[in-house]
Chain A
Amino acid sequence: MSQTATTESTDSTVETPLLELRNLHCERDERMLFSGLNLSLRPGSIVQVEGPNGSGKTSLLRLLTTTSVDYQGEILWRGESLAQSRLDYLNHLLFVGHLPGVKKALTPRENLAWFSGLNSGHQRCSVEEALSEVGLFGFEDVSCYQLSAGQLRRVALARLFLTPAQVWVLDEPFTAIDKQGVANLERLMLEHAAGGGCVVLTTHQDLTMPQVQKLNLMDFRTRRVELGVEDGYEREGSLYE
């Protein structure tokens, strides 16, 4: 995956960002998380959302996955408001949350069969291939109760191989994953971006990928300071830096 290839694919579709956030403002429990957030995700972009714990990373991802509509501003999917094109958007979205969403009573194969059933069997490869890609070859029919935390996460991440979805939203995808696994995931994200997809992820790890766009949520808290409102997180933020 050369970097020139990815830049070309980005250039060819400059006019249509997949997902666009305009002047996004989000509060939670009367605490401002971020304000004036603008971001456009084009095919080929990989965005790493950064910020200390409690800075609103997961809240932002919730907005991007439509599980929360608690925001002001606009989120556009291919130029249309997300409220109107929600089903079409969800059809192109893959979300891996910080909870793996894997049923322990079921085997990895059964878990993935459910995911692909929800997407009507849209698959890039078979469930077996996806599982062996994440290093779970031979574990297809083992009850998930017997898998370790890292292996459970790998079951959830096998969906990255399975789905043809264009937008990936990943909340802490590297939790409990070993070094080799992290490297594989990064390679997968690069391939996905080169194929015209985009990725939004949160992680505290330093990524080795060259084209990652970093988005620090602490940069979008400024208005609160101008207003001179006491904010515990502001102090925590400066401490963090």
Chain B
Amino acid sequence: MNSRANEQPETLHSPLMTQPSMYQGFMATVKRDSLIAIRHRGEMANPLMFFLMVITMVPLGISPEAAVLASLAPGMIWVVALLATLLSLDGLFRGDFEDGALEQLLVSPQPLYFQVLAKVLVHWLTTGLPLTFMAPVLGVMLSLPEAGYWPLMASLFLGTACLSLIGAIGAALTVALRKGGLLLSLIIMPLYVPILIFGSSAVSSAIEGFPIVGQLAMLGAFLAAAVVLAPLAAAGALRIGVNG
């Protein structure tokens, strides 16, 4: 780089000779977003409360009979987990957009891809992962058969990560809109369908005694593709959004 040759021989600017490290930038954002999530515990608990409340209502609204509930349980838990994730997505970039932190992210010498990935990681850690660990408890409430517990957790573990990643695209696209909630759902819902199908079918297959490797492999493949592609799309959408 000939820019280095042009560098002024002054002490003030010498530290910038090295390019900033991506790992440090990634960890800085992970740390910051985790701190914000911890300070805003109430917001973090929102999707979890939604998950809990809807699942509690199901036996009251449909039937308290174990046989009926057991057949509904896999699909019910998956659908509500999906909606709970959707509920939490709107704020993924909104806060940063409104206070100017997103602009700072765009002008930082960091690849936006990894910064988006860091934000999505924290989002998953604060919604997807707790949902995964809550699911077995709610499974008990819906008298989910014993064979379904591990498949439920495994499929939610992979599936919610996909949901966070794909959801980031929608959140990024609607970041500059005042009321992006409905549009966000419309954009994201069709993309969520395959994950819902494979996720809930993994659980019901397991209950019926069939192998579930196929479904989990598909979810894993979705996740691999989403990790590579979703942050790219979200980063592009953020640039457009900030440009306004």
Task: Judge whether A95 is part of the interface by a CB distance below 8 angstroms.
Answer: yes
Give every chain B residue within 8 A of A88 (Cβ-Cβ): 1, 3
B40 A122 Cβ-Cβ under 8 A:
no
Q: B interface, by DSSP: helix, strand, loop or mixed?
A: helix
Q: Which residue of B lies closest to A116 (CB)?
A: B28
On chain B, the residues within 8 Å of A122 by CB distance are 15-16, 20
Chain A residues with CB below 8 A from B99, complex form: 99-104
Provide the residues of chain A in CB contact with B21, threshold 8 Å. Answer: 120
Q: Is B8 an interface residue (CB 8 A)?
A: yes
Contact between chains at B10 and A118 (CB < 8 Å): no
Residues from chain B with Cβ under 8 Å of A13 in the complex: 8
> Is the pair B31, A117 in contact by a Cβ cutoff of 8 Å?
yes
C-alpha gap A239/B66 in the complex (Å):
78
Q: Is the CB of B24 within 8 A of A120?
A: yes
A100 adjacent to B100 (CB under 8 Å): yes
Task: Using A196-B10, A196-B12 as known contacts, say yes or no to A118 and B108 having CB atoms under 8 A apart.
Answer: yes
Complex partner residue of B3 from A67, A69, A70, A80, CB under 8 angstroms? A80
Contacts of A215 in B (CB 8 A): none
* Alpha-carbon distance between A67 and B104 when the two chains are bound, in angstroms: 10
Are the CB atoms of B35 and A110 closer together than 8 Å?
yes
Which residues of chain B come closer than 8 Å to A120, judged between CB atoms? 18, 20-21, 24-25
Closest to A16 in B: B6
Q: Is the CB of B109 within 8 A of A101?
A: no
Whether the pair B25, A196 counts as a contact (CB closer than 8 A) is no
Determine the residue in chain A with the shortest Cβ distance to B103.
A97
Task: State which residues 1-51 of B face A: CB under 8 Å.
Answer: 1-3, 6, 8, 10, 12-16, 18-21, 24-25, 27-29, 31-32, 35-36, 39-40
Contact A113-B28, Cβ < 8 Å, known A67-B242, A87-B109, A101-B99: yes
B32 touches A103 (CB 8 A): yes
| Interface residue? B110 (CB, 8 A) | yes
A90 in the interface (beta carbon within 8 A): yes
Interface bracket on B? 35 or more
Give the complex CA separation of A79 and B25 in angstroms.
Answer: 28
Q: How far is the CB of A104 from chain B (nearest CB, A)?
A: 7
Known A-B contacts A67-B243, A106-B36; the reply to A91 vs B104 at CB < 8 A is no
Which residues 116-148 of B sit at the A interface, judged by CB distance below 8 A? none
Q: List chain A residues, Cβ under 8 A from B18.
A: 120
B103 near A95: Cβ-Cβ < 8 Å: yes
Residues of A within 8 A of B103 (CB): 65, 67, 95, 97, 99, 101
Q: Which of B14, B20, B104, B110 has the most CB of A within 10 A?
A: B104
**Within the assembled complex, what's the spacing in Å between the Cα atoms of A155 and B108?**
17
Interchain CB contact under 8 A, B108 and A110: no
Query: If the complex has contacts A92-B16, A101-B99, are A106 and B35 also in contact, measured as CB distance less than 8 A?
Result: yes
Closest B residue by C-beta to A113: B28
How many angstroms between the C-alpha atoms of A31 and B110 in the bound complex? 33
- The answer to whether B28 touches A78 (Cβ under 8 A) is no
> Does B101 lie at the interface of the complex (its beta carbon under 8 Å from any beta carbon of A)?
yes
Q: Is A150 an interface residue (CB 8 A)?
A: no
Within 8 Å of chain A (Cβ to Cβ): is B57?
no
B60 within 8 A of A: no
A residues in contact with B105, CB < 8 Å: 118
Taken together as a complex, chains A and B put the C-alpha atoms of A153 and B8 apart, in Å, by: 30
Across the interface, which residues of A come within 8 angstroms of B242, CB to CB? Answer: 67
B6 & A78 in contact (Cβ 8 Å cutoff): yes
Is B107 in the interface zone, CB < 8 Å from A? yes
Instruction: Point out the residues of chain A lying under 8 angstroms from B2, CB to CB.
Output: 78
Q: Please name 4 further chain A to chain B contacts, defined as beta carbons within 8 Å, in addition to the given A87-B19, A164-B12, A196-B8, sorted by A numbering.
A: A88-B1, A92-B13, A118-B110, A165-B16
The list of the 9 closest CB pairs from A to B, nearest first, reads A117-B28, A99-B100, A120-B20, A101-B100, A91-B109, A118-B108, A105-B39, A90-B109, A101-B104
8 example contacts (A-B, Cβ-Cβ < 8 A) are as follows A90-B109, A99-B100, A101-B104, A114-B28, A120-B20, A121-B24, A164-B13, A197-B13
> Which residues of B line the A interface, CB within 8 A?
1-3, 6, 8, 10, 12-16, 18-21, 24-25, 27-29, 31-32, 35-36, 39-40, 95, 98-101, 103-110, 239, 242-243
